[in-house]
Amino acid sequence: MEPFDPKVRKLFWLAYLAAGLMLVDQVIEIAVALLGSNPTPGLASWRYGAFGLIAGRLGFLIVADAFLFAAATSLDHRIFLRILGFVHLAMAVVLFGALLLFGLDAIEMHGRARSAMSGLLNLATLRAGGVSAIAIALFTWAGIATIRMTRKHRRRGESRGSAPVISR
């Protein structure tokens, strides 16, 4: 990537601030919604609602994510990019586990719901499940691509910087 003028580079630091603000905002909003009413993680209906809420906020979190990637790539923060890659892979695994649990909860909720409500419930399940499946694919892709990119970058840097070997 071509380096920018130092003043323009400083603007990318503000993308970190924007991403941080968005993440804090969304995390507090989710926490208020989940902890505001009496949290009962033992109930399938609560878990189902909580997953739906988080899935609905994933779009905003992905925008914050894009800001982080834009800043780290533009400022050439390789170590941070590598950490981001591993964090994304971990997030994909956690979200996959949560999606499986959500599937089981959705089956249980479907069994309990009256016929008039089952259509709405199916739509909500499809929306939350679909968004999460796309997010899992995105996180996995971003994670693998970032880890590969930083690994290649490091190797190329090493070969460029290393002293020539003279064989006898």
Partner 1 sequence: MNPRPLLPLAVVSGLFLLLYRVLDLSVAWPDLDVATPAGRARLIALTVSRIPAPLLADFLLIGTTVSLGHPGGLRLLGKAHLAGGLILLALTPVFLIDSGSLAPAVVAGEVSVFRMLVVRVLVLLLGLGIGGILTGRLLLSVTPQTASHKPVDPGPKS
30 binds partner 1 (CB under 8 A): no
7 binds partner 1 (CB under 8 A): yes
CB of 138 to partner 1, least distance (A): 17
Is the CB of 29 or the CB of 152 nearer to partner 1?
29
The residues near 104 (Cβ < 8 Å, ≥ 6 apart) are: 44
163 binds partner 1 (CB under 8 A): no
- Pick out residues in 42-101 that bind partner 1 (CB under 8 A): 60, 63-64, 67, 70
Q: Point out which span in 14-22, 44-52, 84-92, 130-138 binds partner 1 (CB under 8 A).
A: 14-22
Q: H or E segment at 136?
A: helix 115-161
CB 136 within 8 A of CB 95: yes
Chosen residue from 18, 98, 113, 149 binding partner 1 by CB under 8 A: 18
28 binds partner 1 (CB under 8 A): yes
The residues near 82 (Cβ < 8 Å, ≥ 6 apart) are: 146, 147, 150
CA distance 106 to 141: 27
Burial of 30 (0-12, 13-18, 19+ CB in 10 A): middle
> How many residues at the interface with partner 1, by CB under 8 A?
30
Angle at 89 between CA 87 and CA 91, to 5 degrees: 65
**Interface residues toward partner 1, by CB under 8 A:** 2-8, 10-11, 14-15, 17-18, 20-22, 24-26, 28-29, 31-32, 35-36, 60, 63-64, 67, 70
